[in-house]
Amino acid sequence: MSKKKKQRLVMRVSILAVLLAAISYTIYSSVAGDERLLVGAGDQAPDFKLEDLDGESHQLSDYKGQGVFLNFWGTWCKPCEKEFPYMQNQYEVYQDQGIEVLAVNVGESHFKVSNFANEYGLTFPVVRDVNKDVMDAYSIGPLPTTLLVNPEGEIVKVIKGEMTEEDVKSYMEMIKPDSQESSE
C-alpha cells in the first residue's frame, strides 16, 4: 500500500470515527433527556426567592394561601408587552381577592426592566431572574409563559404564549382562594 493510500485511509477512518461519535452523542442526549426539572399541572410549584425592582425579596412560599399568577417575560417580547396592561387591569380587580401577580423577568438589566415597569405603570411585584435559575427550575421555553399556582402551592395550569384580557380574568378566577372547590 502506498503512502498516499495509507494517509487517505487514516483520514477516512478518522472522519468516520468523528461522525460516529457525533451520532452516538446525539442519540444519547435524546434518550437521556433534559436534566432540568419538568413541572406541569398537578405538581407543587418549586419554591424560589427573587428580588423586585426596589430590592425587596419575594419568596413563592410566602404567598401560600393566595393564588399566584406567575408570569415569565422579557422586555423584548412583543406578546409580553401586549398582555401587561391586561395583567395590570385584572390585578387591580383581583388583588383584594387573594390573587398575587409575580412577573418574573428573565435575565435582563435592572435599568431595562425598571423602565418597562414604569412605562406600563405596573403595581404588582416585578422580580428579576438574573441567572435564569428560576426559569430553568420551571423549564420555561418560549416567552411569555404563565403558571397558575393555587393557594396550596400546586400548579393548576401552564399557559404558553400570549393571553387576552378575558383569558387573564378567567385564569385569575381559577386560582382565587374561595373558588378552588368549584374550579376543579
> What is residue 181's predicted lDDT score, i.e. its pLDDT?
45
Q: What is the CA radius of gyration of the chain?
A: 23
Q: How far apart are CA 148 and CA 125, in angstroms?
A: 16
Residue with cell 430553568: 136
Q: How far apart are CA 151 and CA 148, in angstroms?
A: 10
> What is residue 182's predicted lDDT score, i.e. its pLDDT?
42
Tell me the whole-structure pTM to 2 decimals. 0.76
> What is residue 79's predicted lDDT score, i.e. its pLDDT?
95
Q: How far apart are CA 117 and CA 122, in angstroms?
A: 5
Superfamily of domain 49-179: Glutaredoxin (3.40.30.10)
Assign 15 a pLDDT band (cuts: 50, 70, 90): confident
Residue pLDDT, tens place only, 60-93: 999 999 999 999 999 999 999 999 999 999 999 9
Q: Which residues contact 101 (CB under 8 A, 6 or more apart)?
A: 68, 69, 71, 87, 91, 95, 124, 125
> What is residue 178's predicted lDDT score, i.e. its pLDDT?
79
The lowest-confidence range among 4-13, 33-42, 57-66, 114-123 is 33-42
